[in-house]
């Protein structure tokens, strides 16, 4: 980030909302506020991918003045990364690996970052062995001490796969492809830990994310574009938000300012049930506790991520230097402990939740001047590229359409 951006973001972090509806800075920075045009066409709630892409497009393409607020002390949402006390680049909210099949999305993000080519690998610790995930030829040969060929593995899967008229649940999605034993070893325990539910209680889409292979391809993803932002995600976001028409206000909860935001168009990327004060009851989101650790050794584990389906209360351990390519004499890792309470990270894909979300969506559709976008606001288990795609589409829709003249944000009372 260049110096002026850093100063601007730092400065804006101390903006506060006064009671009279005008904008103030804290006393030390009051001078800097004079002459700043602090009226806005759009108020964007959330500085993650959804909010930042919308803000960037509205400002750069449609020349709108945009205020972005986030209740966290940083931009980048769950993709936020930073150098820890030992100088190692870590992802605060767990491993984020960028992958997409969309050239448009990759090229769009390439405006804000150079890339480091990276193909992700995951091993699972099962029966005292480390095996590749997704399941491939090596997984089966190592686990069962066999020497099958790809053709033989295809026959093996056909012989153990369970038949179902419909593939509805996360259990169905696995047992119909690789049978019960591999399901028990690799999927059941992990899914129960991660979601607090049995796979039979979750939509098929949850485990269908993970392919099954009969060759030896060990890559976690096979998308056309797989890469990490060369200088980290936060730098990418800084570049995205570095525009004279964008102001960023951190440590600010929309709920505390919404009364004043009445006459600005709002783009909301937080949890949709929270926006409506849980009118129909809370939507279930799954949370995680991240336990970060730095170790006095250059390498900790054999792979970027090791999954623990059946042992330990945590699901996986990530070693960041594999992802970032950073050279350092120490190494930083993170353990992920799933939990029900805490920051909402994952919508929980199952029928009853989709029905509850539908009720909120109907309310959202009937709320003029507010647009809902992103993983929490549309209750979709989306990857980063899908959120970027969703935001680009929404931006085109809202700014392309002629909308009412908007009173300057600061004049709202």
Looking at 46-54, 185-193, 242-250, 363-371, which segment touches ligand UDP (CB under 6 A)?
185-193
Binding site for ligand FAD (CB under 6 A): 45-51, 69-72, 77-79, 93-97, 253-255, 269-270, 288, 345, 374-376, 382-385, 387
From 111, 116, 209, 396, residue interacting with ligand UDP (rule: CB under 6 A): 209
Give the C-alpha separation, 155 to 61, whole Å: 54
Binding to ligand UDP (CB under 6 A) within 87-146 occurs at 124, 133
Residue 246 phi, psi dihedral angles, 5° rounding: -110, 130
Looking at 53-61, 138-146, 189-197, 231-239, which segment touches ligand UDP (CB under 6 A)?
189-197
Minimum separation from the CB atom of position 145 to ligand FAD (A): 32
Binding to ligand UDP (CB under 6 A) within 288-347 occurs at 307, 309
Q: Report if residue 207 touches ligand UDP, rule: CB under 6 A.
A: yes
Which CB sits closer to ligand FAD, 176 or 326?
Answer: 326
Residue 396 phi, psi dihedral angles, 5° rounding: -60, -40
Sign of the alpha-carbon dihedral angle for 400, 401, 405, 410: negative
Q: What residue spans of 147-263 are helical by DSSP H?
A: 150-160, 170-182, 189-195, 204-208, 233-241, 254-257
Q: And the tokens for 309?
A: 């389906």
Asked if 47 contacts 70 with a C-beta cutoff of 8 angstroms, the reply is yes
Return the one option of ligand FAD, ligand UDP, none that residue 190 interacts with (CB less than 5 to 8 A, by type). ligand UDP
Return the one option of ligand FAD, ligand UDP, none that residue 96 interacts with (CB less than 5 to 8 A, by type). ligand FAD
Which CB sits closer to ligand FAD, 95 or 183?
Answer: 95
Give the C-alpha separation, 251 to 237, whole Å: 17
Residue 318 CA neighbour count, 13 Å, CB half: 21
Give the C-alpha separation, 123 to 134, whole Å: 8
Minimum separation from the CB atom of position 104 to ligand UDP (A): 23
Q: Which residues are near ligand UDP by CB under 6 A?
A: 124, 133, 186-187, 190-191, 194, 206-207, 209-210, 307, 309
């Amino acid at each position: 980030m260049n110096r002026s951006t850093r100063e601007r973001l730092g400065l804006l972090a101390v903006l506060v909302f006064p009671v009279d509806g005008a904008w103030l800075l804290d006393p030390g920075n009051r001078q800097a506020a004079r002459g700043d045009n602090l009226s806005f066409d759009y108020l964007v709630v959330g500085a993650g991918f959804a909010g930042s892409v919308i803000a960037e497009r509205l400002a750069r393409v449609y020349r709108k003045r945009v205020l972005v607020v986030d209740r966290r002390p940083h931009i980048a949402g769950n993709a936020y990364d930073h150098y820890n006390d030992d100088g190692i680049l870590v992802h605060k909210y767990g491993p984020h690996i960028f992958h997409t099949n969309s050239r448009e999305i990759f090229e769009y993000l390439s405006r804000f970052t150079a890339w480091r080519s990276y193909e992700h690998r995951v091993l699972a610790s099962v029966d005292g062995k480390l095996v590749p995930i997704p399941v491939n030829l090596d997984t089966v040969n190592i686990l069962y001490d066999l020497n099958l060929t790809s053709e033989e593995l295809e026959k093996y899967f056909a012989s153990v796969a369970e038949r179902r008229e419909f593939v509805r649940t996360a259990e169905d999605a696995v047992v119909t492809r690789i049978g019960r034993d591999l399901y028990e070893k690799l999927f059941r325990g992990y899914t129960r830990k991660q979601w607090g539910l049995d796979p039979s209680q979750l939509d098929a889409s949850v485990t269908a994310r993970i392919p099954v292979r009969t060759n030896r391809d060990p890559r976690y993803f096979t998308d056309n574009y797989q890469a990490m932002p060369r200088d980290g995600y936060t730098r990418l976001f800084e570049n995205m938000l570095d525009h004279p028409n964008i102001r960023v206000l951190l440590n600010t909860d929309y709920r505390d300012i919404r009364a004043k935001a009445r006459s600005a168009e709002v783009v909301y990327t937080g949890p949709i049930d929270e926006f409506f004060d849980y009118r129909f009851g809370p939507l279930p989101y799954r949370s995680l506790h991240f336990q970060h650790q730095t170790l006095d050794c250059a390498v900790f584990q054999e792979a970027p991520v090791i999954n623990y389906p059946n042992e330990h209360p945590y699901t996986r351990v990530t070693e960041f230097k594999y992802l970032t390519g950073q050279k350092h004499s120490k190494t930083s890792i993170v353990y992920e402990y799933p939990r029900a309470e805490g920051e909402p990270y994952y919508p929980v894909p199952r029928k009853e939740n989709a029905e509850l979300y539908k009720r909120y969506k109907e309310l959202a559709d009937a709320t003029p001047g507010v647009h809902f976008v992103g993983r929490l606001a549309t209750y979709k288990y989306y990857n980063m590229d899908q959120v970027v795609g969703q935001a680009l589409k929404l931006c085109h829709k809202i700014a392309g359409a002629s909308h009412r003249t908007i009173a300057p944000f600061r004049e709202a009372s």
